[in-house]
Structure 1
Amino acid sequence: MNLLDRPVWSALSTAHRDLSLGDELARRYEPDVNRFASARDDSEAALRALTRLVPPSEPVFILQVPQIRVPEGLTTIKAAQGVQMVARSPVAAPGEAGDIVALSDQDAAEMLALATLTEPGPFLRHTHRMGRFVGIRVDGRLAAMAGERFHFPGFTEVSGVCTHPDFRGHGLASRLSRHVAAAIAARGETAFLHAWKTNDAAIALYRALGFEWRCDVNVAVLARPSEDSRQRQA
């Protein structure tokens, strides 16, 4: 299996093992880190293990290249298509980076507020623990940020790219994305990322940075049906 085909599993079973719950058949991120989960494969045993990791009222996100098989006991709340893009050659760092600062636990509340406002993807109280994050401040305010999400041998994902509406149109997202991708390349790793298939603007931005389409990906939000919904179905 190409590690990129199941990036969530590849991360949860290696670099992010300490941030996960589960076993050798299925894993998910700790509830305050992220909502992604993954079965190791499509075997019945792995899918049952995935079901056990989904408590009531706590949906999980599935992201993978293979078609998503919904385990018995779970239901699909939302399904969509995305694209996976890979930097085939190292991305060059932005020319000026003096205003780009490292973000840490001290910035967690501002990072969460910015992500909640702009919705770059699932972002929770401790999502910043998944990798390095950087940002740009304007008059003390966190105007934009970008960072790393899924990480496994040889690869790190660029993610969490967002700009406050008050500061859009100045190329901040492009500069931060380039900065993060260049840092990944400097470690000898390959940068990759995901975008919604319908997000033409984001895809165009990433192409301009040197990322190339690798494949489409399947995305689904799965949940355990509530007792009320099971009774209605019955």
Structure 2
Amino acid sequence: MPDSHPLDRPVWNALATRHAALAEGDALARRFRADISIFAAAANAGAAATAALRALVPADGAIGLVEADPPPPLPETRIALQASLDQMLLDAPLPPAKRAPIDWIALGDAHAPQMRALAERTRPGPFSANTHRMGDFVGVRRDGRLVAMAGERLKLPGFTEVSAVCTDPEWRGHGFAEALMRVLIERSLARGEAVFLHCFADNPAVRLYAALGFRVRRPIVYTMLEPEPEPTPIPASAA
């Protein structure tokens, strides 16, 4: 597992540093607590680290790997999903906003059920009960309900990921996604951090990300691993 750039292995570099308090595992392999995120990573490609990563795969769930290259085979697991993502890095100053400012709110534990419900309606990516504890989240409420949000996900030294950018289909076209991203980007830049994100290349939101100054840094492989199912016993009568 090459480590030429911190963002080539963003999950491990987050779990080993700024997100260590949210991690389970040890120096060989770590994962976020299940209520936080599906993401996990091994320290390296060695046999000991691979075994440690396998031990973190839940019997009734999965782990998600985000790496520059496809992961080596993990014993007694199968690939439930594998896809290529574009890793985008903000490498230009934010352009002036073309819309008037919107009224937004900081989101926290009290909003967790609404955040989960919005994520389930819009599918911005893996989102668990306490994903919002990975960083700052901001949102827009209309008619008494949460209709848009954006948040911080992976944090590693010098970098913060913007993620969970989503708007209820009934409220799209009002510029909520851009406005909320600007709030988070400006906070990261003020801390001296670079901002990155992951998305599918055919995601229509790529146009917004490019307009804000993001460029594709490199392709990244997302792999979801789950336990290999137990073989179905053959009935004695069929033997």
Aligned with residue 31 of structure 2, among 28, 31, 34:
28
Post-superposition Cα deviations, 1:39-84, rounded to whole Å, max 9, x if no partner, equal: 1121221111100001212111111112321211211011111000
Aligned residue for 2:41, secondary structure, equals strand
Structure 1 residue 205, shift from structure 2 partner? 1.4
Contact 2:54 2:75 in 1 (8 A): yes
Match of residue 12 from structure 1: 15
Give 3-state SS (helix, strand or coil) of 2:186's partner: helix
Q: Which of residues 65, 68, 71 in structure 2 aligns to 1:65?
A: 68
1:84-103 correspondence to structure 2 within 5 Å: 84-91=87-94, 94=97, 96-103=100-107
User: 1:48 — aligned with what?
Assistant: 51
Pick closer, same or farther for the CA change 1:106–1:40 going to 2, 3 Å. same
Query: Helix, strand or coil for the counterpart of 1:227?
Result: coil
Number of the residue aligned with 1:126: 130
State the distance in 2 between where 1:118 and 1:70 align: 32
Distance 1:197 1:42, change over 3 A: farther
Secondary structure of the 2:75 match is coil
Cα drift, residue 228 of structure 1: 3.7
Deviation, structure 1 residue 222: 0.2
Larger radius of gyration: 2
Residue 237 of structure 2 corresponds to which residue in structure 1? none
Letter in 2 for 1:99: D
Give the TM-score normalised by the residue count of structure 2.
Answer: 0.91
SS at structure 1 position matched to 2:181: helix
| Amino acid across the alignment from 1:69 | P
Counterpart Cα distance in 1 of 2:183 and 2:31 = 29
The gaps in structure 1 that reach 5 residues or longer are: none
Distance 2:93 2:75 in 1: 42
Q: If each structure's helix is expressed as a fraction of its own residues, which one has the higher value?
A: 1
Partner of 1:169: 173
What SS does the aligned partner of 2:114 have?
A: helix
SS in 2 for 1:45: helix
User: Is residue 11–residue 154 contact of structure 2 (8 Å, CA) maintained in 1?
Assistant: yes
Between the aligned partners of 2:131 and 2:96, the Cα distance in structure 1 is 24
Q: Which moved more, 1:104-113 or 1:40-49?
A: 40-49
Mapped to 2, the partners of 1:217 and 1:227 lie a distance apart of 31
Q: What secondary structure, in the 3-state scheme, does the structure 2 residue paired with 1:218 have? A: strand
Identity of aligned residues (%): 44
CA contact (8 A) 1:26 1:40 kept: yes
Q: In the alignment, which residue of structure 2 is the partner of 1:153?
A: 157
CA contact (8 A) 1:151 1:157 kept: yes
3-state DSSP class of the match of 1:21?
Answer: strand
Q: Is the 8 A contact 2:141 2:147 kept in 1?
A: yes
> Aligned partners of 2:34, 2:18: CA distance in 1, in Å?
17
Q: Which moved more, 1:133-142 or 1:156-165?
A: 133-142
> Partner letter of residue 189 of structure 2?
A
Q: Deviations over 1:90-144 (max 9, x none)?
A: 4357564450211111111100110011110111110000000000111222110
1:153-181 Cα offsets, whole Å, 9 max, x none, are 10000001000111012121121112211
Look up the match of 1:39: 42
| Structure 2 residue identity aligned to 1:67 | P
